[in-house]
Amino acid sequence: MQTLIIATRNRGKLREIKELLKDLPLKVVSLADYPDMPPIVEDGKTFRANALKKAFTISRKTKMLVLGEDSGLEVEALGWRPGIFSARFSGEQADDEKNNQKLLEELKAVDPKRRRARYRCVAALTDGERFIATVSGSCEGSIAREPRGKNGFGYDPLFLVPEYNKTFGELPPEVKERLSHRGKAMKKVKKFLKRYLGSV
């Protein structure tokens, strides 16, 4: 069976991608399975640049099929920050809780009508020899006034989906998969993977 390396050490991200690609004949693994891989400095100016860097760095080392993915939260009232700095919004020792606390602090005085936000995701596929594709997905919502729900990871307990009036932290995983930025991007990734798997 063909192996697909997800160029991440983020367990939440890996879990979601595995679930979204589960019906493909692929063994999906992550950088946790390749401890000798070099750290990837995410110094790109865009999600796309970071996704491509992750994909090419790991595929050139392994000569294997690799998916690089970069995603984050953009908040209109903050000038579309944190964006590409979402994972380290609260500093180099950032974790989900610290990032969420910083976001709430920065939005403390912002009116609910001005708390519009979006999640964005860009994914890049390469196999060490050739570039296969980049795809993207986005999801519109707003930022709640306090964390709600225990599902998901990252900013999910704060990301409010208008049509359900629930956060990603409250929605069941199967609903999030359908609506989310990552779910939409992986739907496009699957089309390229099916074509690729049919040709290798």
Annotated active-site positions, please?
Answer: 70
Instruction: Name which of 4, 14, 39, 56 is nearest 153 in CA terms.
Output: 14
CB atoms within 10 A of CB 197: 14
> Amino acid identity, residue 158?
L
What tokens were used for 23?
A: 């019906």
Whose tokens are 């050490």? That residue is 9
**Cβ-contact 192, 132 below 8 angstroms:** yes
